[in-house]
Chain A
Amino acid sequence: MTAQPSAFRHLPQKALTALVYVFLFLPVLMVAAMSFNSSRYSVFPVPGWTAKWYRAAAADELIVESLKISAVLSLCAAVIATVIGSAAAVALVRYRFRFRDAIRAAFVSPLIIPEMILAVTLLMLSASLDLRGGFWTVVAGHVLICLPFVITVMSARLHGFDRSLEEAAMDLGAGEWRTFWHVTFPLSLPGVVGGALLAFTVSFDNFIITFMVAGSDIVTVPVKIYSMIRTEFSPKLHALSTFVVFVTLGILVLYRLVLRGAARW
């Protein structure tokens, strides 16, 4: 017989966990609550509920434009980072070569280097190359910070890869290319998709690098939110922020689902 489950067992641990979650999510919930607030001012308790700020945000061309720019920019950055990062992970996991550990460390270093320093360096570099402010310059900056995530996710997937599956395919008559296409690629796909989704959220949420490197015509969502705080504070800001939070959460949920689906293989 196991001990009877009691609501009071582990009570201190449960209370502490609850506090941590409150600390983590209260600000987000506050923003979400304010975005449905009928008052123009962020007051509490909320006098009434409305969705008008969402309608206003959707009607604001600059906000819609920033969403479009962010989507396209993050998509480009995610795709490029996934291609480069997957190839790099295959090389780092599968092959032995000189300076392999140093190269791995170099790829992962954007996680460790303070982002502000990275951003300033990128700004100086792009200025000296006369590429300052261009769309692809910003994409390049985003690719840089997405690569560590793609490489980490892909490496984990490849480390767990049973090489004898590739041998089995070759034994059954598949050459190198067909072995890759029928076995290696489909079995690494969760890593590729997972890496891409993670890269997209990293790029979509990025503020510092975009702010430093981008010219005045490239206004992504985080940059737009920042400028709204400084110039024309409006509950539209809450609506936009809430929307972004849920897009990011949605992608993370998708990422977990992809990995969980893969675990069954």
Chain B
Amino acid sequence: MANIDVEVAGLTKRFGAFAAVEDVSFSIRRGEFFSLLGPSGCGKTTIMRMIAGFEQPTAGTIRIAGEDMAGRRPFERPTNLVFQHLSLFPHMTVAGNIAFGLQMKKTPRRETEKSVGEMLDLVQLSGFGGRKIPHLSGGQKQRVAIARALINRPAVLLLDEPLGALDLKLREQMQLELKRIQREVGTTFIYVTHDQKEAITMSNQIAVVNNGRIEQIDSAAEIYERPQTPFVANFIGQTNLLKGRLSGVGGGAGVADCGGFRVRVVCGFPARAGENISLSVRPEKIRFAGNLPEGANRIAAEVDDVIFLGSLMHYRLALAGGITLTAEAPKDGSLSLARGDKLEIGWLPEDGSVFADKKTE
């Protein structure tokens, strides 16, 4: 318990009858890079604003470094925030912005100057201290915002989609930068984003948020390989979602009738025959005739479309019953398919994820 930095339990926020955040719980170990990932409007920003102290929870508790944050104002919390639009003070220099947190703590001038220098080094902006904020590039502003938020040595650094405004190249560069900074300072990061690639690249743990609830908390690999809900399977990476009805259940495995063909599935939950399920199969898990391993499901398919994606190929496959799947294969010359080709495709039962169709996503 000692190395748990952030503990959120039963966190709920209602605006009138609308529940923006509903019974959210998670705990984050010290020094972890934790992402809150979800579509816009899912409540992830509200969760973060409650941790920072800008919103009051309707119910639930937030503990940081063992202390209950209830009733603490934003300026009384060991958290700092990198704002979505950075919110740098336009009337101050770079150094003025970074020093602000220490000045509020009435730190002696010499100590402040030393810390500002260290922060400028950390974000690789040495020598930029005297610059005015409007004269900086997007990436430089980003670095100033991070330095400003880190100078008070917060227990937790909150980041609210700070890379959203940058172009793709710079964003990827800043993702690596953020990872490096986090390794160097060892602070717990809570990163809010709607970009699944960003979350997967940087996080130790990802909480997938949807409609104010957490759908799954796991490492990036777990979330990708073993999604626990259709929403997670769909939101993280690309997937094929099939509807089916279970029959012949036994020992955690069964057969699903997808209407037109049957496939063997592995269920991670106690399944009953006759139950409706959703089955998720990632495009790269689909194999083609000649490469189908022992024990794979085998289904007749016709190539409907071929899409060239650089190093990868995407094939749209038409199956019996009007079902289409997307399959992905490396473009290495071992497979050359054209529209209209008929062949057998398939996947291993354990490569699919099965979800009980009780609630809708």
Show the binding face of A for B, using Cβ within 8 Å: 162, 164-165, 167-175, 178, 182-183, 186-187, 264-265
A165 to B87, CA, bound (A): 5
Question: Which residues between 83 and 111 of chain B lie within 8 Å of chain A, taking CB atoms?
Answer: 83-85, 87-91, 100-101, 104-105
What are the residues of chain A within 8 A of B149 when measuring CB–CB? 171-172
| B91 with A187: CB separation less than 8 A | yes
A171 close to B91 (CB less than 8 A): no
Chain B's closest residue to A168 (CB) is: B87
Choose the segment among B72-80, B186-194, B197-205, B273-281 that binds chain A (4+ C-beta atoms closer than 8 Å): B72-80
Contact B83 A167 (CB under 8 A): yes
B75 and A170 form a contact (CB under 8 A): yes
Residues on B with beta carbons closer than 8 Å to the beta carbon of A171: 52, 54, 74-75, 79-81, 149
**A183–B89 alpha-carbon span in the complex (Å):** 7
Chain A's closest residue to B151 (CB) is A172
Q: B293 on the interface (CB 8 Å rule)?
A: no
Please report the C-alpha to C-alpha distance between residue A190 and residue B140 in the assembled complex, in whole angstroms.
27
**From residue 147 to 164 of chain B, which have CB atoms closer than 8 A to chain A?**
148-149, 152
Task: Check B104–A167 contact: CB distance below 8 A.
Answer: no
Q: A171-B54, A173-B75 given. 9 additional CB < 8 A pairs?
A: A164-B85, A164-B87, A165-B87, A167-B83, A168-B88, A169-B100, A173-B152, A174-B75, A175-B75
Bound Cα distance from A169 to B152, whole angstroms:
13
B134 touches A (CB below 8 Å): yes
Flag if B104 contacts A178 (CB, 8 Å).
yes
Q: Which residues of chain A come closer than 8 Å to B100, judged between CB atoms?
A: 169, 172, 174, 182
Q: With A and B bound together, what is the CA distance between A182 and B184 in angstroms? A: 31
Contact A162-B134, Cβ < 8 Å, known A172-B100, A172-B152, A175-B75: no
List, in ascending order, chain A residues with CB within 8 A of B85's CB: 162, 164
Q: B87 and A172: CB pair below 8 A?
A: no
Q: A163 to chain B: closest CB distance in Å?
A: 9
Q: Tell me whether B73 and A170 are in contact (CB under 8 A).
A: yes
Q: For residue B84, which residues in chain A have a CB less than 8 angstroms away from its CB?
A: 164
Q: Are B134 and A265 in contact (CB under 8 A)?
A: yes
A169 contacts which chain B residues (CB < 8 A)? 89, 100
- The answer to whether A168 touches B75 (Cβ under 8 A) is no
Minimum CB–CB distance from B93 to chain A (whole Å) comes to: 13
Q: What are 24 residue pairs bridging A and B, where the CB atoms are less than 8 Å apart in the complex? A: A162-B85, A162-B87, A170-B73, A170-B74, A171-B52, A171-B75, A171-B79, A171-B149, A172-B75, A172-B100, A172-B148, A172-B149, A173-B101, A173-B104, A173-B105, A173-B152, A174-B75, A174-B100, A174-B104, A175-B75, A182-B100, A186-B91, A265-B91, A265-B134
CA A168 to CA B86, docked complex, whole Å: 9
| A170 CB → nearest B CB, Å | 5
Asked if A168 and B83 make an inter-chain contact with CB atoms under 8 angstroms apart, the answer reads: yes
Nearest chain B CB to A17's CB is how many angstroms away? 33
Q: How far is the CB of A120 from chain B (nearest CB, A)?
A: 46
**Taking the nearest CB of chain B, how far is it from the CB of A96, in angstroms?**
16
A173–B76 CA distance with the chains assembled, in angstroms: 7
Q: How far is the CA of A169 from the CA of B54 in the complex (A)?
A: 12
Which of A165, A171, A174, A264 lies at the interface centre, i.e. has the most chain B CB atoms within 10 A of its CB? A171
Q: Which of A168, A174, A186, A265 is close to B81, meaning CB atoms less than 8 Å apart?
A: A168
A168 touches B89 (CB 8 A): yes
Complex contact B91–A172 (CB within 8 A): no
- Chain A residues lying within 8 Å of B152, measured Cβ to Cβ, are 172-173
**A167-B74 contact in complex given A172-B101, A173-B152, C-beta closer than 8 Å:** yes
Q: Which residues of B contact A162 (CB under 8 A)?
A: 85, 87
For B148, the chain A residues whose CB sits under 8 A away are 172
Q: CA of A246 to CA of B149 in the docked complex: distance in angstroms?
A: 49
Q: How far is the CA of A162 from the CA of B84 in the complex (A)?
A: 12
Q: Could you tell me which residues of chain B, from 298 to 339, have a CB within 8 Å of some CB in chain A?
A: none
In angstroms, Cα B97 to Cα A169, docked, is 10
The residue on B at minimum CB distance from A189 is B91
CA separation between A224 and B354, bound complex, in Å? 92
Q: How far is the CA of A127 from the CA of B74 in the complex (A)?
A: 54
**How many Å lie between the Cα of A264 and that of B133 in the bound state?**
10
Measured CB to CB, the nearest residue on chain A to B145 is: A168
Q: Return chain B residues, CB-CB under 8 Å to A183.
A: 89
Whose C-beta in chain B lies nearest to the C-beta of A174?
Answer: B104
- Of B75, B79, B81, B85, the most chain A CB neighbours within 10 A belong to B75
